[in-house]
Every structure is written in structure tokens, then in C-alpha cells.
Structure 1
Amino acid sequence: MPFIDQADARLYYEETGSGYPIVFVHEFAADAREWEHQLRAFSRDYRCIAFNARGYPPSDVPADAVRYGWESSRDDLLAMLNGLKIDKAHLVGLSMGAYTALAFGMRHPDRVSAIVAAACGSGSPPSLRANFIRDAKNTAQAFLELGSAALAEVIGHSPTRIQLKRKDPRAWAEFMSHLREHSAEGSSHTMARYQAGRPSLWSFEAELRRLRLPVLVAVGDEDEPCVEASLYLKRHLPNAGLWMAPNTGHAINLEEPAAFNQVTGDFFSAVGRGAWRRGFADG
């Protein structure tokens, strides 16, 4: 298995295709396997890399909770690019992965050419903040007490996940199978340190307004926790566009893979041609 050695964790990755690099960054309830639709599509024209975050086997699962968090995730992405000798890449992130991609872009804009931020920002709106942090801490404890298989049933049947089961039962069953295999310890530490500990996107307003990278914000219209945050990103990122998929929940790349790939491919094509126009939020 291929790994990148980060300072305190080995990170498993998969690579396919050749050409300009795209790095895919997964969400909390997924791993690199949930990018399969995108890897198959984009590896025809691009060098595609998907990796498992720390806490997601076969990547290492550090026992010390302090070794998790959004800054560690951002630094792991840098280690991935450096380890694979990638000077600059497109980034595609979903949910937790989208947060990582944006945080990376704000910290290392010279290493990024474009960002797809999908299903991003749950828990960021001020009105939802306190409940999100409370629920994340409770979920972290539940992973330790009940295990991943039990929590998978809760997550997979949640209001923003059930859409996948209704649309594509086979894809949902595969997603659930992967989720049940996740490390309970790694998921607990990730939920407690990353999800509950990350700042709201609202706290990055100045940094977002200064970020000139092309950004495609993607969200499902039934992904209620992320709709307001996606609108916030559209309003504050000066070079962002917004795509909202109808009748779609959180796992937008799994629910609507063809549409997701089409919109993402068109975005990268426009960026490559210099045709992606600036938005109105010049700040």
C-alpha cells in the first residue's frame, strides 16, 4: 500500500491517471473509496489522488486526541502534496474535506489552482453553532461507547443522508459498509477535535474575502445544515460560483455523480482556459 509519511501519522493514498493533479479530500463519514465515481471520470484527463485522513485506516490512527484537528488536516494535505512532489493542484473537498481545502487555500494559496468546496460549513451559522458543538461532542463519545457499526445506522438514516438510500440503494449500502468499518477511536477523535473544535467559517470572513482563487461552492438543497454556509461562501469569496443540486442531501458526489462530475469538470475547464470570471464579492 502506498503511504505518505507525515510528522506523526502515515497517510494512505490512491493515485490514478496522468496530467494536471487533482487531490480529493473526503468527508467525516467517508474515506477515499467514496471518490470512486470521480476518480474513474477525472483520471481520463487528470492525475487524481485520494487519501485517507488520519484516523481512517489504513492511514494511522493516533491514540493521542491532540494529534487530530482541522490544523492537522490542513498540514496533512500539505504533506500529501509535498510527498507526491506536486507544486500546485486543484482541490475537491466534501464537508470536512471542503473545510480542509478552504483552510489550505487560505494558508497556502500558491499551492492551489482551484477549489471545489462541496457540502461545506455545517455548524458555522451563529444560530446553529452551540447545538452543533454539543452534538459533535456527544457523537464523539457515542463512537467510543457504541462503536462504528451502531453509529453508522444513525448517520446513514439522518435527514441529510437518507436521500442517497432513496435514490441509489446500492450506493447507500456500499457507503454504509465502508462507514461500519471505520475506526471508532479515529472517528471519535476526529469528531471531538476537528468537528467540534474547528472555528466557524464566519470567523474567517476577512481571509475569505482576500482569497482570490477560483472556487466552486456545491451544495444539495436538502442539505439544510450547509445551505446557509454555502450562501455565505458565495457572498464572501470574490471568485466563487454556487451550484445547488435539487432534491439532494449531504453526499452530493454520491447522490448525483454524473451531475457533480459534469459541473466540476466544466469548472476546471473554465479555470484552465482563464474563463472563470470573478464574482461580485470583491471586498
Structure 2
Amino acid sequence: MLYLHRSSGPNLPAVIFLHAIGTSGWMWQEQIEQLTDFDCLIPDLPGHGHSHDVRWRSFEQTADLVAEIIRKNVPAGRAHVVGLSLGAYVGLTLLARHPSVVERAVLSGINVLPLPNRWLIDAAAYAIAPLIKTRLFARLNARALNIPADRFEAYRQSLQPLSIRDFIGASHDASAFSLPANAAAIQTPTMLVAGEHEHPLILASMARLRQVLPNSQARLAKGVGHAWNGERPDLFAATVKAWCAQRELPDELMNLTMQ
């Protein structure tokens, strides 16, 4: 069973947040502080944070665990789903395997296209894994994620329980990820969103997903990169709130130009 932090109670619309690799539910703190009119459920994914003793086995098993959380903790048995990076892969797998538990989805930073030189990426995961808990690595990663200086120590502490074995397993699965076989049948309203300065392969994946998912939209957040929930926590929270409440999206989101 995954560790679950909950910010509110069952009488508000439920949103479940799925974090990136190498961190934990901690990364959503600034969004949770702003989304007080939602019941926010924040699990630590297998091998991460307080779920470090739960083995990472696959995206499919992880999606099953998330579906179980929703069914057990949300009276209606359905929740909005927000995922970034690793969490977005879990989110898309959840839409494919358990569509009945998802109201609407926000997925950011996901690649569904073949990776060039994938073996190099897998090798890099093995190489950096022993270093990921060191202060130097944490400092470099915090800079890449634009984590504010006053939150660095909390971020570094969140790395300490991380299972290195499961970090490698999740990295390998992410590098091999591809579109679910039933993607074209997914009817869940889905917002595909990324930072304007996201990796080109992820931007191309967004265009591909937009073509395949029948009820999807695609937007770019101005001036930010992959971990834009840390760069612009206010804009990320506003995007989630608007999409889940079916309101007009923030003006700072640009339409993705389809290639």
C-alpha cells in the first residue's frame, strides 16, 4: 500500500497528485497550499519517500495502486489526476487501465516516442544512482528543478528514503514507455501541458498524444521548462484549478502548434 498524504477531507472535489522521479509527494507542497478548495491526495510512488519499502515493478502495477487509493479514499470513487514527468506516465497508464476512477487529467512532461540512444539513458541512470542522495547531486538537481533556496533542505531530506534499486527500475521503464495500446479509446478529458522550454521530444510527444487522445487539449506554459510546477507554482495551480473546474484556462498558457 502506498503512503498517502491528504490535505483536506472528502467533502471537496478530489485531486490526486503524482510526483516526478527521485522526489516524493513533497514536490506538490506549493500547489497544495493554493488549492484549498480541493481535497488533495498526494501519494508517494513505489520506492519513493514514505513508500520506499514498496517495490517499483511497473507502470501498470503503480497505476493499479493509485486506482486503489482513489476507490478507497474518495466517496464518489473518482478523482481528477495531475501528473508530472514520472507521475504523468503513471497518470496516462491509469487512464488506460482504470478510466472509471478519473474525472479529468492534467499530464505534463511525458514522452511516448522512441528515445534515440536509449541504452545511454539507461546507463546514465545506473551511473548517477549512487550519487543521487549526496548533497552535491541534490544541489544540482534542485537548481535544475528551480527549487527555492528556502526549500532546499526539505527537498534534500525527501531524497534520503529513496530506493536506489527502484529509482533505476522506474528510470528504465520511463525510457521504454510508449503509447498504451488502447490510447485512442481513452475518453477522459485530458490537458497535455508542458513548459515552453521543454525537451523537443516531449513537445513532439504532446503533438502525438493530442492527435490520439480524442478528448485532449495541448498547451505550453510561457518561459518555463520541465519542472514548471516549481518555476511557476502559481500558474501550475491555476491551470489545475481551471481545468478541473472546467473554467477558462490562464492566459499565460499558449496553444501547442501542431507540426
CA distance in 1, matches of 2:205, 2:49: 30
Alpha-carbon distance in structure 1 between the residues aligned to 2:218 and 2:98: 23
1:218: how far off?
A: 0.9
| Matched length | 244
Of 110-119 and 32-41, more deviation after overlay is shown by 32-41
Distance apart, 1:58 and its partner CA: 2.2
Q: Under a length normalisation based on structure 2, what TM-score does the superposition of the two structures give?
A: 0.82
CA contact (8 A) 2:122 2:175 kept: no
Q: Does 1:16 align with 2:2?
A: no
Does the Cα contact within 8 Å between 2:17 and 2:82 map onto a contact in 1?
yes
Q: What is the deviation of 1:148?
A: 4.1
Partner of 1:268: 244
* 1:214–1:239 CA contact under 8 A, matched in 2: yes
8 Å contact from structure 2 (residues 85, 109) kept in 1: yes
| Contact 2:48–2:161 under 8 Å retained in 1 | no
1:51 aligns with 2:43: yes
Instruction: State the alpha-carbon separation in 2 of the partners of residues 237 and 196 from structure 1.
Output: 25
Aligned residue type for 1:53? L
Distance 1:117 1:154, change over 3 A: same
Query: SS in structure 2 opposite 1:23?
Result: strand
Query: CA offset at residue 95 of structure 1?
Result: 0.8
Consecutive unaligned residues of structure 2, counting only runs of 5 or more, are 248-259
The percent of aligned pairs where both chains have the same amino acid is 19
2:19 is the counterpart of 1:33: no
Q: How far did 1:113 drift?
A: 0.8
| 2:44–2:50 CA contact under 8 A, matched in 1 | yes
The answer to whether the 8 Å contact 1:26/1:95 transfers is yes
Distance in 1 (CA, whole Å) between partners of 2:109 and 2:150 is 20
Aligned residue in 2 for 1:246:
222
CA distance in 1, matches of 2:150, 2:18: 19
Deviation digits for residues 217-255 of structure 1 (CA, Å, limit 9, x no counterpart): 110121115222222211211111111012211111121
Gaps of 5+ in 1: 1-5, 165-170, 272-283
For 1:239, the aligned partner's letter is N
Tell me which residue corresponds to 1:155.
141
Q: Does 1:212 align with 2:187?
A: yes
Contact 2:193–2:218 (8 Å) recurs in 1 = yes
TM-score, structure 1 length as denominator?
A: 0.75
The correspondence of residues 1-283 of structure 1 with structure 2, limited to 5 A, is 6=1, 10-17=2-9, 18-44=11-37, 46-62=38-54, 67-86=56-75, 87-121=77-111, 124-126=112-114, 128-131=115-118, 133-144=119-130, 147-158=133-144, 161=145, 164=146, 171-174=147-150, 176-183=152-159, 186-198=162-174, 200=176, 202-204=178-180, 206-224=181-199, 225-270=201-246
